[in-house]
């Protein structure tokens, strides 16, 4: 959430910067300024009434003592009238506060200066392209056929149990999933991240804190009876560990990692690259989250990008890193790098990670602050997160890229985790 004082002091800057996200903020910003001016006028009037009431309260006792009963009664009557006026103004003040807040939460985060302009994924900037794309020849199979051939994943059984987008993993497919999860968690732990096992459902406050709520796109699964939400990513519960918390500056950066199942309705995506593991409603992911000092958050972002890059390198996957354009960024991000791996059988790039700096946007909603040594007043922290990594498309690329006439070769780093070198 953008800081209200920043919006007031820099209305034109906010409007101009949000154009890069293809968001027209002019009407919202104008209304916020108008309401805030009205709020200040109400505050001035309320302060005048309170001052008059305090003065009269002191005079009433004196008037009674002097025997001026009529004047004292008139003063008491005026005091009651002022109390009613102040109450009415307080109600108007609170109403305007709520109106301003409802407008404020509609504004996306301001993109960083290096975010490229653009509206679609085609406008994203490729900052790195690495790894050799395998030549599998004419006999190559897509991962959904490999999954059926080696009895790894049953998509139809998932449809029977739940619906499309909820696959059932079996045998070596299940062990391969578990191997990847443990590998990613161990690598995060080596990089200094503390592992968290979070809940898979969260309340409204948590969804609001990280910017998933209000859920304008309807992407979250809602447990209506209890008013809880299935998490779309472990980012939500892990970042909310620090909601309404004041950290000591020396604690920063705080580094957490978590494995979780993730649930996304993927509304509006039907018929769009949904074959096999390409787009699911439930999937597994290991997340890394950091709370950082504002002066160091972009150094932290570079560190997190390097961590994710090390994972795809160790898995031997060809990859590229994209700096997302304004139109392809999330509502909450100030800067995002996407990782894509090459799917040799499908002959296309698959997104497997997003690593983002939200600057103070989430922390402002979370009231997540820190206090440097010697400071009395705490300040808003910066939050960052990244997929390290999301499993479905990683699995798809590993199955496809490592297929041979003898079977599927397991990457060397995963063999100790899954206990086999080949899927046959």
Q: What is the CATH number of the domain that holds 295?
A: 3.30.930.10
| 206 and 90 assigned to the same domain | no
Identify whether residues 94 and 193 lie together within a single domain.
no
Is the residue at 109 inside a domain?
no
In a domain, 397, yes or no: yes
Residues 190 and 329 in one domain: yes
Distance between CA atoms of residues 386 and 306, nearest Å = 11
Q: What percent of the chain has pLDDT over 90?
A: 85
Residues 42 and 128 in one domain: no
List pLDDT tens digits, range 175-208: 999 999 999 999 999 999 999 999 999 999 999 9
Half-sphere exposure of 97 (CA within 13 A, CB side): 8
Q: State yes or no: 233 annotated in a binding site.
A: yes
Which residues on adjacent β-strands are paired with residue 257? 195, 288
Average confidence (pLDDT) over 91-107: 94
Pick the last residue of a domain from 104, 138, 169: 104
Q: Is residue 360 part of a domain?
A: yes
- 136 and 86 in one domain? no
Question: Which pLDDT does position 266 carry in this prediction?
Answer: 82
337 pLDDT more than 80: yes
* Domains in the chain, number: 2
The confidence score (pLDDT) of residue 36 equals 87
Residue 110 lies inside a defined structural domain of this protein: no
Residues 84 and 180 in one domain: no
**Residue 67 binned pLDDT confidence (cut-offs 50, 70, 90):** confident
Q: What is the torsion angle, in degrees rounded to the nearest 10, for the CA atoms of residue 193, residue 251, residue 309 and residue 109?
A: 120
* Residue 111 domain flag: no
Residue 115 belongs to a domain = no
Cross-strand bridge partners of residue 380: 369
Q: Please say whether the beta carbons of 351 and 317 come within 8 A.
A: no
**Cβ–Cβ under 8 Å, residues 144 and 280:** no
- Expressed as residue numbers, the domain containing 39 is 4-104
Domain co-membership, 22 together with 64: yes
Pair 415, 294 in one domain: yes
- My answer on whether 141 and 59 are in the same domain is no
385 is in an annotated binding site: yes
**Does residue 147 carry a pLDDT above 90?**
yes
| β-pair type (222-223, 228-230) | antiparallel
Residue 329 lies in a domain: yes
- Residue 121 CB neighbour total at 10 angstroms: 14
Q: Residue 109: which of 292, 361, 277, 335 has the closest Cα?
A: 361
Q: In what order do the strands lie in the sheet with 319-323?
A: 125-130, 319-323, 335-343, 348-357, 382-390, 282-292, 254-263, 194-196
Instruction: Tell me how far apart the alpha carbons of residues 34 and 172 are, in angstroms, rounded to a whole number.
Output: 62
Mean pLDDT of 89-97: 93
Instruction: Supply the CATH number for residue 74's domain.
Output: 1.10.287.40
What does the DSSP 8-state code read for residue 262?
E
Domain end among 104, 131, 149? 104
Q: Classify residue 112: in a domain, yes or no.
A: no
Other CB atoms within 10 Å distance of the CB of residue 281 = 19
The pLDDT tens digits of the residues spanning 49-62 come to 999 888 888 888 78
Report the C-alpha gap between 346 and 410 in whole angstroms.
19
Pair 413, 331 in one domain: yes
With 80 as the cut, is the pLDDT of residue 317 above it?
A: yes
Lowest mean pLDDT across 91-105, 268-282, 367-381? 268-282
Asked whether residue 260 falls in the same domain as residue 320, the answer is yes
Annotate 196-259 with three-state secondary structure: ECCCCEECHHHHHHCCCCCCCCCCCCEECCCCEEECCCCHHHHHHHHCCCEEEHHHCCEEEEEE
Q: Count each helix (H run) and each strand (E run) in the chain, helices first.
A: 13, 19
Averaged pLDDT for residues 80-94: 91
Is 145 one of the annotated binding-site residues?
Answer: no
With 0-12 / 13-18 / 19 or more C-beta atoms within 10 angstroms meaning exposed / middle / buried, residue 423 is buried
User: 346 and 206, same structural domain?
Assistant: yes
Q: Please say if the pLDDT value at position 268 is more than 70.
A: no
- 265 assigned binding-site residue: yes
Q: Which residue has the higher pLDDT, 272 or 224?
A: 224
Residue 287 assigned to a binding site: yes
Per-residue pLDDT at 245: 98
State mean pLDDT over 357-383: 96
**pLDDT tens, residue by residue, 111-142:** 999 999 999 999 999 999 999 999 998 889 99
Mean pLDDT of the chain: 95
For residue 91, pLDDT beyond 60: yes
Question: Residue 351 forms beta bridges with which residues?
Answer: 340
- Looking at 70, 104, 138, the residue that finishes a domain is 104
353 is in an annotated binding site: yes
For 378-403, what is each residue's pLDDT tens digit?
Answer: 999 999 999 999 999 999 999 999 99
Q: Angle at Cα 280 formed by Cα 279 and Cα 282, nearest 5°? A: 155
% the chain with pLDDT above 70: 98
């Amino acid at each position: 959430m953008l800081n209200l004082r920043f919006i007031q002091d820099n209305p034109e800057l906010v409007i101009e910067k949000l154009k890069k996200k293809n968001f027209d903020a002019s009407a919202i910003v104008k209304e916020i300024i108008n309401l805030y001016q009205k709020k200040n006028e109400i505050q001035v009037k309320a302060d005048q009434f309170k001052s008059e009431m305090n003065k009269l309260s002191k005079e009433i006792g004196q008037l009674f003592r002097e025997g001026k009963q009529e004047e004292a009664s008139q003063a008491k009557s005026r005091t009651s009238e002022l109390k009613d006026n102040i109450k009415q103004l307080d109600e108007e003040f609170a109403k305007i506060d709520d109106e301003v807040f409802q407008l404020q939460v509609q504004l996306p985060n301001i993109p960083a200066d290096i975010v490229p302009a653009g509206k679609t994924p085609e406008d994203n900037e490729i900052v790195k392209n690495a790894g050799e794309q395998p030549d599998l020849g004419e006999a190559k199979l897509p991962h959904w056929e490999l999954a059926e051939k080696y009895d790894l994943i049953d998509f139809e059984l998932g449809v029977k149990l739940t619906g499309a987008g909820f696959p059932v993993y079996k045998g070596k497919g299940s062990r391969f999933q578990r191997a990847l999860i443990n590998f990613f968690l161990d690598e995060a732990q080596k990089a200094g991240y503390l592992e968290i096992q979070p809940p898979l459902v969260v309340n409204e406050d948590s969804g609001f804190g990280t910017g998933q709520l209000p859920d304008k796109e309807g992407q979250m699964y809602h447990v209506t009876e209890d008013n809880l939400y299935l998490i779309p990513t472990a980012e939500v519960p892990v970042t909310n560990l620090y909601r309404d918390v004041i950290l000591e500056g020396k604690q920063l950066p705080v580094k957490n990692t978590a494995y979780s199942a993730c649930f996304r309705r993927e509304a509006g995506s039907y018929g769009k690259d949904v074959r096999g593991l390409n787009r699911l409603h439930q999937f597994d992911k290991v997340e890394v989250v950091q709370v950082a000092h504002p002066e160091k958050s972009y150094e932290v972002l570079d560190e997190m990008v390097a961590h994710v890059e090390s994972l795809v390198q160790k898995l031997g996957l060809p990859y590229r890193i994209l700096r997302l354009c304004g139109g392809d960024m999330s509502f909450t991000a100030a800067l995002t790098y996407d990782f894509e791996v090459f799917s040799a059988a499908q002959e296309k790039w698959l997104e497997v990670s997003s690593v983002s700096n939200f600057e103070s946007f989430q922390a402002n909603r979370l009231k997540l602050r820190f206090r440097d040594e010697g400071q009395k007043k705490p300040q808003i922290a910066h939050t960052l997160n990244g997929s390290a990594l999301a499993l479905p498309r990683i699995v798809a690329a590993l199955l496809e890229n490592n297929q041979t006439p003898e079977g599927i070769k397991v990457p060397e780093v995963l063999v100790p985790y899954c206990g086999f070198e080949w899927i046959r």
